[in-house]
Amino acid sequence: MRSPLFIAVLLLAIGPASAFAQSNMPFEFQPGHARAPDLGLKAPIAYPKPLRYGDKGWQTIQFYPARAGAPAPLVVAFSNAMDEWARYRFNEGGIALAVVPDRETVPAASKTIDNYLAAMSYLYGDAEGLGIDRTRMMLYGTGNGGSMAVLLGADPALLARAGVPFDAVRGVISIGGEDFDVVRRMKESSFLRSRYQRYYGRDEVATATLSAASHLELPNAPGFLLLADARDRAGLEESRSITEALVNAGSTAVFVTLPEPRDEVRRTHFLAEPGGSGWEIVAFVQAAFAKAP
């Protein structure tokens, strides 16, 4: 187990009818409590600065600089679409955001990782010009992007390929990830086996290297925050499972269930209101970046 500078004991509900889970974070972090959203809330419009980092037409980072203060800490989001409220909350808190796409015509896990590493290398190398603090970076992903963020936060060798020091990553956030232990999931059904073989290939050894579950040993990122929507069964089960595995291996990790939203508020409920759904994310990021290196 690592020895944190100071430890906060967290009590987070793992499910609506479950007991509370206890975990240690290497920085102060207190979760929020969700409440009913205001249907009229809309995030202020912002226009990103496009950053080309590769020779493919779609390899353009959508960069949102922090509102004030440079160099600013950076959240690197692995997602083809970023929630507008998440973008706004980061920027208003003095945090820059870089949204990294993955639009390969024939997607493959190894190519996805190469793409993310290319973007990380670009951002790290041009940190001064972009006004970002290359020593304070947070990995953030949704869906498979969340699974890849956890992988990058658990395997120092991958970031080394991008020339990014592992201690530059202050934490990892995954929302709705479910591809943390692909080899195990491939054995659960013929449907999943077919699905994962198309993306990861048929070599189980190679597939295991691209699964976070194969890289639980320390060192890894200082903290992991995993979230899943209450209606996302696979996301809930797999995010809980990897959280437990990380903690059992000596890592610091917390799982949070996002409350089930009504269909008409899916675009506005997330991070729209102080104390509302997803505010654990803001608290986690701010606390991680405030901690001394």
Residues 101-134: pLDDT tens digits? 988 777 899 999 999 999 999 999 999 999 999 9
Residue 290's pLDDT band, with cuts at 50, 70 and 90, is: confident
- pTM for this structure? 0.85
What CA–CA distances, in Å, run from 113 to 1, 107, 119, 126, 186? 28, 11, 10, 20, 20
* H-helix or E-strand spanning residue 216: none
Tokens of 83: 């929630």
At 17-55, the pLDDT tens digits run 232 233 445 555 555 444 444 556 777 888 899 999 999
- The span from the CA of 292 to the CA of 145, in Å, is 27
- Mean per-residue pLDDT of the chain: 83
Q: What is the maximum alpha-carbon separation in the chain?
A: 52
Greater model confidence, 14 or 42: 42
CA-CA distance, 58 to 72, in Å (whole number)?
26
pLDDT at 145: 94
Question: What is the mean pLDDT of the segment spanning 63-75?
Answer: 89
Task: With cut-offs at 50, 70 and 90, classify the pLDDT of residue 230.
Answer: confident
Contact 63, 49 (CB under 8 A): yes
The whole-angstrom separation of Cα 55 and Cα 284 is 35
For residue 279, what pLDDT is reported? 83
Binned at pLDDT 50, 70 and 90, residue 265 comes out as very low
Residue 276 dihedral angles phi and psi, to the nearest 5°: -90, -165
| Amino acid, res. 224 | F
> At 266, is the pLDDT very low, low, confident or very high (cuts 50, 70, 90)?
very low
Range 204-232 burial, b when 16+ CB lie within 10 A, else e: eeebbbbbbbbbbeeebbbbbbbbbbeeb
Model pLDDT, residue 171: 97
